[in-house]
Every structure is written in C-alpha cells, then in structure tokens.
Amino acid sequence: MHFDALVIGAGFAGLYQLHCLRDRLGLRVRVLEAGGDIGGTWYWNRYPGARCDSESHAYRYFFSRELNDEWQSSERYPGPPEIRAYLNHVAAKFDLRRDIRFGARVTAAHFEDAANRWRIETESGEKCSATYLVTAVGCLSAANVPAIEGLSDFGGKWYHTGEWPHEGVDLAGKRVGQIGTGSTGIQAAPVIAQSAAHLTVFQRTANYSVPARNAPLTPEFNRWVRENYDEIRETTRQTPNGHAFRISRRNVADVTPEERQAIYEAAWETGGLQFRATFRDLLIDKAANDTAADFLKARIRAIVKDPATAEALADINHPYSTKRPPIDTDYFETFNRPNVSLVDLRAEPIERITPKGIRTSNREIELDVIVFATGFDAMTGPLLKMDIRGRAGRALRDAWKAGPETYLGLQVPDFPNLFTVTGPGSPSVLTNMPVAIEQHVEWITDCIGHLRSHGIETIEASPEAARAWGAHVDEAANATLMTHAKHSWYYGANVPGKPRVFMPYAGGLQRYRKICEDIAARGYEGFVMDRGRTATVALTAGDFAGAAASPSPGV
C-alpha cells in the first residue's frame, strides 16, 4: 500500500505528526508503532517510581488552547498512567487511532531512487511505501542492557526498567539488585526498597539529585494553568530548555556567599529541575558550578547517616547538571533503611553475574531479581536499529559510523524526504521534550507543505550544511561544562563501541527555533530540492550567526 507519509512511532511526536500531516495538509498517513498502544516512553516505562521530571503544566502539547483547557493534571509531576490518559484523550479528540498500526516494528526502510519513494518493511513482513518518511522513534526508546558476563546463567529474574512488564513485578520479600543510579535508578530505588526484603544498589557513577517535592495539584493551580496558557506557552518557547520557568539572569559572583546559600536552600525547598535555574552561569563557569555541587554534596552527607555510604554517594566527579540531572523522592533517605545497601563499583567492580547473584571483586551478593536501570542507546540507537538506506543503497549505519551527521537534527545527506523528529543535533534531550517535539513536527509539516505547493519531489540536507551544522553543534557543547562529563550518555559513553560525539544541540531551544525559522524563510537554505535540478548554498558554522552557545542545561 502506498501512503503520502509514513510515521514511525506513536508517542508525543508520532501522534502530533499524524495530526499535522493528515488534518492540516490533507495527506494520506499511516503510523507504525512497535508497541501495543500509544504513549511511547510512557507505554514502555512502567518501573516502580516511574514519573516525569517535567512539571505537568509544561509537559503537554501547546498547539491547541482547547486541549489545554480540557485537561486537568492531578499532580505536580505526571506519572505514566496520567500521561497515557492524556495521550489517549488527545488521540480520541483528534481521531488518531484509525491511522495507527500497533505491533508494527519497522525493521527496514529503503529509498528507491527511480521512484522517489521509501519502501518500508516491518518485523512481521508487512510492506508499504511512502513519499515522505518521518521517524518519531524517540531519543530514549532503545533499552541498553550492559553485556555483563554470566547474565544468561542467572537463576533469578531480571528486568530492564524501559521494558518493564505491564502486569508489574512482585518484589515483596525478594532480594533485589539494582544496577544504575541515573535518573531512572534514583526514581526506582526508594519504591523498590519499600517492598523488597533487601535492595542492593550497584553504583558506578555517584549522582547529584534534588528533591522533586511532588504534590497533588489544587483546583486553583489548574485554573491558573488555564488562565495563563499564553504566558506559560511563551515561557516554554523563550527559555533555552523549554520548561515553564525562566533561568535567573544573575551570576553566582553577583551575590554574597550568604545570599547564595539562601538561594540554594530556597531552591532545594521548592524542589525540581528549577534548581539549575538559580544562576545563569552554572553550566558555563566551573567555579560557579562548584558552589552548587558543594551545596548538593553537603546535603547528601547531611541526609545519609552511615558515613561510608554518604561518602560513596557524595563522591561525584562531574560538574552539577552536566549529565542528565535527576530529581527524586527520598532517594538519599532510602540508604538509611536497614534493608538497603550500596555497593560502590569504583571500589569493587562487578566481575560477573553468577547463577545466584552478582560477584564483585570482593564478594558474591545473592539476589532473586536484578533490575537494570542502565538507560538507553540514546538518540541514534532507535534509528540505527532499523536498516535505513538512502540514495544508491547507502546505509545510515555507514553514514553515521563516526557519529551522527545531520542538518539541524532534521535531515541527513543522501536520505531524501526522510525527517527525524528530535534527531541527533537537535536540542531534544536537553529540553522539556514536548516543546521541542512540537517545534520539529510543525517545521516538518511546513516543509512538506512547501514541497507540495511548489511541485518539489525531494528534499535532502546538503553535505556542506550538515558538516557546518555538526561543527556548530560541537561549538555549542564546547561553550558549556557538559564536555566535562565525557562519560555521559549525551556522548554515547554508556554503549560500548559507540562513537563519542556530543549528540544533542546545546545552544538552546529558543535559538534553535529561530535558526530553523530563518533557514525556512530563506527558501530552505542548506537543503537540496530535487537533486540535480537546483544548486545548494555552502554554509559554515559561522553562518549560524548569533547562535553562539546559550547553554541549555538538560531535561
């Protein structure tokens, strides 16, 4: 069957892309989704403690005021069931389900030069084709299970948090080992500890965390959200990271040490990702960052009673917020429970998994369940899992051997009419993602609308533009302290063999939006339309003028 457009993925991105292409441009669209329902991240991630770290009034679509008015959030941070309920409401309101196929994992997408069309194949052998292919596969949808020797011999059960069984896992009375202390692990440990007989947390990288301070939302707050829709929407569009709070204009050095302490204490009490917004130079000046890092490390030492455990938890060797900054509910307090212990893998590395549990260099720890809170093959993983081939059969896996190369994170040279929502090289994971997703989806929709109204058959990034953009993405990252955390998943460091390239664009979502708008207004500068018929414009990193880094400090 042939479609105007095929969209892969039915999370926030795929749903809105379907609505835009079908209902605004009038195209024949089909969405292919590997999972059994809509929701993306929130369909798959059902681990204990799973919750969004963006606040409910910002973690939503902003394209429809009516939709905003209709939706009431119940808590400051939405949990997976509430986000799924929200997306179900969206799907029903815009009648989206009829064009989505579930259980349809795309395994291959090949561009046919002669016909200018994409041929797609799913795991079950279903085939179809389309003029435009839009990947809405998410940045964090390819689970990363570390290759630890002996896993197949383990006599207990093991789970990855990103593929948690929908029926839940009964951990009551079980000896649970959790590997990983990133955002997910920090959410999961306190909840697992409540039911497990014993929880052993295996920590390779100590991490900062700020209390989330989740709470029910009052009717007054929900009324405020309805009445201030325009202002909230504008704030998410004007800030570097798409959240509904602004980053302070003051620098750390603008205040006295006493004032600074009071500011950090107030932010700690408020809770949430806003802690990063206390000073504008936290992500660009190491000395400024040290003040926040010292404050947070002191909090860990004050909370955790056992001095050796406190020291291991506070022994953090990256600047604050240069890795994805977690927020938590009683994470550090959990280590005061008698049924929780910490294993510092820097002192005693894992040697292997045994039939009975995990053996470190010092001992064997017996376990019934292993929980891998080890994150994802981020950004490129979901794309490279598919066999995507562009012009002359060129494989994306080959094109990206040394790291992803894109123009604006939206297109790849030699892959015509392929659009990547929140692709590598776009602000994506450094933002409150629905805002970044809306911007990409709307840009792609306008672009396809332009092609159709001008009788243009294909569009693709020019190699020069992609090179220049790549240089600019590096430049933006280098202007922040995020380059101090080379072991982060932003660099792909959690996946052995993955090229170490800083993947997201750290120049700020508001700047990025302007760059994308300007490029479209200049007739899609840097893109080649109907190759062979039009010439391209050569660009250099300097052409993204005015886009010098304005740090965008993580989701």
Which residues form the interface with ligand FAD (CB under 6 A)? Answer: 8-14, 32-35, 40-41, 43, 45, 50, 52-54, 59, 105-106, 136-138, 140-141, 162, 184, 382, 386, 421-422, 432-433, 437, 555
Q: Which one, 60 or 297, has the nearer CB to ligand FAD?
A: 60
Q: Which one, 164 or 335, has the nearer CB to ligand FAD?
A: 164
Q: Which one, 136 or 252, has the nearer CB to ligand FAD?
A: 136
Shortest distance, position 188 Cβ to ligand FAD, whole Å: 10
Shortest distance, position 105 Cβ to ligand FAD, whole Å: 4
Structure-block tokens of residue 155: 């006599």
User: For residue 152, what are the contacts with CB-CB under 8 A and spacing of at least 6?
Assistant: none
Q: Which one, 93 or 356, has the nearer CB to ligand FAD?
A: 93
Shortest distance, position 440 Cβ to ligand FAD, whole Å: 9
Shortest distance, position 253 Cβ to ligand FAD, whole Å: 31
Residue 452's Cβ-count burial label (10 Å; 0-12, 13-18, 19+) is: middle
Q: Which one, 10 or 91, has the nearer CB to ligand FAD?
A: 10
Q: Are 485 and 500 in contact (CB under 8 A)?
A: no
Nearest by Cα to 52 from 41, 68, 67: 41
Q: Which one, 160 or 260, has the nearer CB to ligand FAD?
A: 160
Q: Which one, 180 or 526, has the nearer CB to ligand FAD?
A: 180
Query: CA separation (Å) from 227 to 77, 142, 224, 233, 244?
Result: 20, 38, 5, 12, 15
Structure-block tokens of residue 184: 């997910």
Shortest distance, position 539 Cβ to ligand FAD, whole Å: 27
Query: CA separation (Å) from 487 to 211, 269, 318?
Result: 24, 30, 9
User: For residue 371, what are the contacts with CB-CB under 8 A and spacing of at least 6?
Assistant: 47, 158, 159, 161, 176, 177, 178, 179, 188, 192
Tallying the residues shown for the chain, one arrives at: 555
CA dist 320 and 38 (Å) reads 34
Q: Which one, 232 or 529, has the nearer CB to ligand FAD?
A: 232
CA dist 506 and 550 (Å) reads 7
Tokens 């561009």: give the residue: 111
Shortest distance, position 450 Cβ to ligand FAD, whole Å: 23
Shortest distance, position 127 Cβ to ligand FAD, whole Å: 14
Q: Are 131 and 115 in contact (CB under 8 A)?
A: no
Nearest by Cα to 37 from 82, 87, 78, 77: 87
CA dist 211 and 302 (Å) reads 14
Shortest distance, position 71 Cβ to ligand FAD, whole Å: 16
Shortest distance, position 9 Cβ to ligand FAD, whole Å: 3
Query: CA separation (Å) from 331 to 181, 203, 212, 413?
Result: 10, 13, 10, 45
Q: Which one, 102 or 525, has the nearer CB to ligand FAD?
A: 102
CA dihedral for 303, 308, 309, 314, sign (positive or negative)? positive
Q: Which one, 309 or 428, has the nearer CB to ligand FAD?
A: 428
Q: Which one, 154 or 208, has the nearer CB to ligand FAD?
A: 208
Shortest distance, position 32 Cβ to ligand FAD, whole Å: 5
Give 264's Cβ-side CA count (13 Å radius): 22
Shortest distance, position 31 Cβ to ligand FAD, whole Å: 9
What is the residue type of 319?
P
DSSP, residue by residue, 43-111: HH---TT---SS-TTTSS--S-HHHHHH----BSS--HHHHHHHHHHHHHHTT-GGGEESS--EEEEEE
